[in-house]
Amino acid sequence: MIQEALGGPLTHSIRKGFGLFAAFLPAQDASDRRGDQEASQRLFAKIEQAKQEWETTADALPELICLVDHRGRIIRANRTVEAWRLGRVDRIAGTDFHALIHPSCDVRTCCWGEFLQQARERARLGQLAELEVYDSILRRYLLITAQPVPAQRRVPNSLVIVIQDVSDRKQAENVRRRYMARLEVMNQIQEAILASHSPEEIAQAALSRIRQLAPVQHARVTLFEQDSGQFLVLAADANGDTHLRPGASVGREAFEGAATRQPDRFYMVEDLQDVPAPSPVERELRAAGIRSYVSLPLAAEGEFIGSFSLGAHQPAAFNQEHLDIADEVADLLAIAIRQAQIDRQLQKANAELAEALQVKDTMIQNVSHELRTPLFLIKGYAEMVREGLAGPVTTEQEDALNTVEAQSNRLAHMVSQLLALKALNSASLLKVAVSPAELLQDAADCWKLLGAKAGVQLRVELEPDLPSCLADPNLMHHVIGNLLDNAIKFSPQGGLVCIRASRDAGRLLIAVVDQGIGIPADKTEKIFERFYQIENGLNRRFGGMGIGLALCQEIVQAHGGRIWAESAGEGRGSTFLVSLPLAAV
């Protein structure tokens, strides 16, 4: 019989409980069968000992174990009844089981009534009944099992009921479930925030999901505007509350977090009905049926930037967990909103910069254009005077006229460079097969005279049998001329400038190498920016206006090529390299 009682999917301790309550019944039967008094006394003593052992064991178990008769009256129970403060173990026999568990419950349909009935029905089939329930009177989660004890002569149709308190496990499960749900919603909020681009979208993304985590009937995100000292509602989610629209400016009242305006403090009102002198915003909230609210500051880099507020129809609706959630959301919001603000400022600054650059370019183009006519006239008249058309010219006057002509030529060159920068685009290029040897030799011939004047020698070194490259000959001539002009300008007297060309990985590689002042490593890229010169205006020794290399770069890039500078450092010469696509064979 003990074996029967021990069958079924029970925990070890529950099984022991069944064992105890079933054990002493068959022992009584056995004693009846025996006639021998001595033997039966010994047997009784043994049974008594076994019974006490079992009782001690059962008393030590944390489960409440009861043997209940067919009418639901308790025959015996272990000491857990005392631990659970339900009664005394020595006075409990005969008490109604349901009344023991629920002393003041007269609802027959309460879970216990139903369970006992079900347990008896199953007992008739020799089966175990099991129920897991939250007992709202005992305030515990219980796992209840009822095991039938086969009919005895004295105790027919009795049940062993084992009640296990599983509150700790249940609570841990509930905490885990809530935590997972919270994690999921927090993830959703985070993803939505990250996918949003404006502060308004970010705020709206958070508000549309916060309801899943807290009892919220009203939520709002505001931004504090330092300049005006006003709060601007970024997003409001208020169940049809028409008073509070996004964008409306709303005072410094508590719901906006203004009461503290400190990054590390939140503001909570448990019941708006109890607030003696409500602020205008609190009156609005009250009118919208809000009883309790909490408002948290949004802080970025320790600075108060706005607030995040939640309101509920219930008084004292927000517990510590809700505050923790709101705090996490506020942190996310603050970071994302600040990031979006910075992005927005950057975009604005970029747009303004692009506009300013455009204005500058247009102005340069216009001025350059306007300079062309007077320059042409200056050159023309200077030439006319030099040729004696305005009367005889002295040697001093001729020198002066030469200077006028040279400088106006230089000016004309600069103006044409500026205009060329504007006009340049890859579609307008005339690309033909150009012989590198011709191109470079031609350029060297043109600049030889200038080199000689500066005491700089030019040398052309070409790899034999170079294939043609695909280029606009005039523009490429301009590029090489510009590099030679610089190489001569920045070389010392007696210096050598080499113009080399070779084949490199299926492209033409041109190098203009000088022994001049060199370029610091951190400037080799900057010199290709428009108007950039290494020496600034005050200490300039050389002429020019910092536009030549920018123009070279645009021309080379329009050809699908690349131009760059290399230098071993100041005073150690420079090499300018141009790589160009070869013409198809």
Q: Which residues bind ligand ADP (CB under 6 A)?
A: 482, 486-487, 490, 514, 516-517, 519, 527, 533-535, 544-550, 574
Q: Which is nearer to ligand ADP, 508 or 513 (CB)?
A: 513
Q: Which is nearer to ligand ADP, 103 or 571 (CB)?
A: 571
Residue nearest to ligand ADP (CB): 544
Q: What is the nearest approach in angstroms of ligand ADP to the Cβ of residue 485?
A: 7
Q: What is the nearest approach in angstroms of ligand ADP to the Cβ of residue 393?
A: 32
Cβ atoms of residues 263 and 303 within 8 Å = yes
CA distances from 138 to 84, 134, 175, 435 (A): 9, 9, 20, 101
Q: Which is nearer to ligand ADP, 196 or 491 (CB)?
A: 491
- Residue ranges of alpha helices (H) inside 259-319 are 280-287
What's the CA dihedral at 425, 429, 433, 434 to 10 degrees? -80
Q: What is the nearest approach in angstroms of ligand ADP to the Cβ of residue 499?
A: 13
Q: Which is nearer to ligand ADP, 197 or 410 (CB)?
A: 410
Token representation of residue 257: 């977090």
Q: Which residues of 53-155 form beta strands (DSSP E)?
A: 64-68, 74-77, 129-135, 140-149
Q: What is the nearest approach in angstroms of ligand ADP to the Cβ of residue 335?
A: 43
Q: What is the nearest approach in angstroms of ligand ADP to the Cβ of residue 509?
A: 17
User: CA–CA separation, 472 vs 475, rounded Å?
Assistant: 6
Q: What is the nearest approach in angstroms of ligand ADP to the Cβ of residue 532?
A: 6
Looking up tokens 């610091």, which residue turns up? 520
Instruction: Classify residue 105 as left (phi > 0), alpha (psi -120 to 50) or beta.
Output: beta
Q: Which is nearer to ligand ADP, 199 or 518 (CB)?
A: 518
Q: What is the nearest approach in angstroms of ligand ADP to the Cβ of residue 428?
A: 22
* Cα four-point dihedral sign 69, 75, 78, 83: positive
User: CA–CA separation, 63 vs 85, rounded Å?
Assistant: 13
Q: What is the nearest approach in angstroms of ligand ADP to the Cβ of residue 420?
A: 13
Q: Which is nearer to ligand ADP, 382 or 509 (CB)?
A: 509
548: number of Cβ within 10 Å: 22
Q: Specify burial of residue 438 (Cβ count, 10 A radius: 0-12, 13-18, 19+).
A: exposed
Q: What is the nearest approach in angstroms of ligand ADP to the Cβ of residue 576?
A: 7
Q: What is the nearest approach in angstroms of ligand ADP to the Cβ of residue 438?
A: 24
User: CA–CA separation, 68 vs 163, rounded Å?
Assistant: 13
CA distances from 56 to 45, 49, 50, 52, 78 (A): 16, 11, 10, 6, 9
Cβ atoms of residues 573 and 515 within 8 Å = yes
Q: Which is nearer to ligand ADP, 298 or 484 (CB)?
A: 484
Q: Which is nearer to ligand ADP, 260 or 365 (CB)?
A: 365
User: CA–CA separation, 570 vs 555, rounded Å?
Assistant: 27
User: CA–CA separation, 158 vs 19, rounded Å?
Assistant: 14
Please choose, from the candidates 91, 95, 105, 100, the residue with its C-alpha nearest in 3D space to the C-alpha of residue 71: 95
Q: Which is nearer to ligand ADP, 145 or 553 (CB)?
A: 553
Q: Which is nearer to ligand ADP, 320 or 539 (CB)?
A: 539
